[in-house]
Structure 1
Amino acid sequence: MPKGPKKRPKSTPRAWNLPLLDPPRRLFHIPRRAVPAHAAPRILGLDFNATYRPLPPPPSADDPINAARLGQRLAALGAALDDLPGQAQRFARWKARRDAAIPRDGPVTRRRLSPLRRGRPPGGRLSRYDPTAPHPDRIREVDEILAHAHALAVYALDPPDTS
């Protein structure tokens, strides 16, 4: 009897791509709160012979953390930096598809007009970069860097002044 289907040898590893667009902001999204396993309520049934299992201990600072997703993001960032002309063509193709889909005199549809999300940068606490403005204590240096990088990205998307 023949064995199952033959497994194909893996040729090349999967190419990771960074997302081209920021995810849109969800206005009325209420995040769900997940209860960690060490703080979950222990509800036993009405069976008096049920065995009691203790809660798992809370994680300590020395516990290992799965860094697979971080490694994948770094690999995608490295691949994007190695292929900047290809990423520029990818972005130009997105802009061409967006411009071709925009109706000139028809009804307005909900389409992405900008690859950047409106508002402050993801993860940032400042809405705009102003190096001379005083900031509250909760604003860190990384927030200023994020706001400055976001301002540069918005500036790069502005159409050039040809006058």
Structure 2
Amino acid sequence: MDGTAAIERNWEALKRILAMLVAMAEMGAGSLGAGMPGAGDVGAGNRGAEGVGAGGQFTFFPRKGAAASRQVRAEKSKLSPALTLPRHLYLAILRLLRPAEAAARRLIIAAARGIVVTLPPLRPRKPKPATLRGPRAFLPKGPKKRAKPTPRTLSLSLLDPPRRLFHVPRRAVPAHAAPRILGLDFGATYRPLPPPPSPNDPIDASRLGQRLAALTAALDDLPGQAQRFARWQARRDAAIARDGAISRRRLSPLRRGRPPGGRLSHYEPGATHPRKIREVDEILAHAHALAVYALDSPDTS
């Protein structure tokens, strides 16, 4: 089973869906006065997500060339301090972004089939200093110097989020529907309840912009992400060989059951689906089948 053509076809479809999501975010941010320039350049081969600016502003910029760097500086000077989206558009993007991330993760796993990497030798552990051993360990320590926080790099997670087995959602009454109990104090001031949430309420979308940027970077460098997953597999196998069967490391990157955000339990080529099944659901089901095959039948040649 050679899944190169299937990976390429699903990769192109995911790039098209990602371009649509960024255009939706640009439209929503523009309606609230926070512009997002350059959303139409997602599918270009020499372009990608430059990152998230101050306050969570998310933009797409070209990466190469001196003219590109000048354009980046010119565009960054026009950025608004923060990115907000209407509630209904934020939720609509989120409903499509989650299965798109899961599909990209499975395409990376399928593309990593047959890749063999060699890990560097483990570094020996440094012995503890004398101040941390013996009676000196109980002495009060001096003030610690705070290290400067290093900027976090945007990267798509290679592992599915774990399923919360014993999570019981708390039942809470929303603020706009709380009972009006004033008590026996007849002189208490009446405070009106807050209005119910509106679909047009502005929502902070800085985290959403970071996830879009990470997904764009992963789709722009699929072979590099496949090498990254192969290194994760090698570290997992080395930990299992060192610690035995009982290892704290995660054994499988995929969680059991239906993929996150998907509406199809399995992939059926040529099958007709109801209207509620979206294109991203079909892509996710196909990518899941490719990833499961790559994990169950590794290419050792």
1:112 maps to what in 2? 250
1:126 maps to what in 2? 264
Q: Distance in 1 between matches of 2:272 and 2:221?
A: 39
1:74 maps to what in 2? 212
Query: How many angstroms does 1:136 deviate by?
Result: 5.3
Give RMSD over aligned pairs.
3.4
* Identical columns (%): 82
Query: How many angstroms does 1:71 deviate by?
Result: 0.6
Matched position secondary structure for 1:65: strand
1:160 maps to what in 2? 299
Runs of 5+ unmatched residues, structure 2: 1-147
| Higher RCO, 1 vs 2 (CA within 8 Å, ≥6 residues apart) | 2
Cα deviations by residue, 1:123-151 (Å, 9 ceiling, x for unpaired): 11221011344545654444323212222
1:40 maps to what in 2? 178
With normalisation by structure 2, the TM-score equals: 0.42
2:159 maps to what in 1? 21
Query: How many angstroms does 1:28 deviate by?
Result: 3.0
Matched position secondary structure for 1:113: coil
1:96 aligns with 2:230: no
Query: How many angstroms does 1:69 deviate by?
Result: 1.6
Letter in 2 for 1:160: D
Q: Distance in 1 between matches of 2:189 and 2:205?
A: 36
1:151 aligns with 2:289: yes
Q: Distance in 2 between matches of 1:134 and 1:108?
A: 44
Cα deviations by residue, 1:86-120 (Å, 9 ceiling, x for unpaired): 43343223212211122589554564221111111
Q: Distance in 1 between matches of 2:206 and 2:177?
A: 26
Q: Distance in 1 between matches of 2:183 and 2:174?
A: 21
With normalisation by structure 1, the TM-score equals: 0.71
* Structure with greater helix percent: 2
Runs of 5+ unmatched residues, structure 1: 1-8
Letter in 2 for 1:58: P
Aligned residues: 154
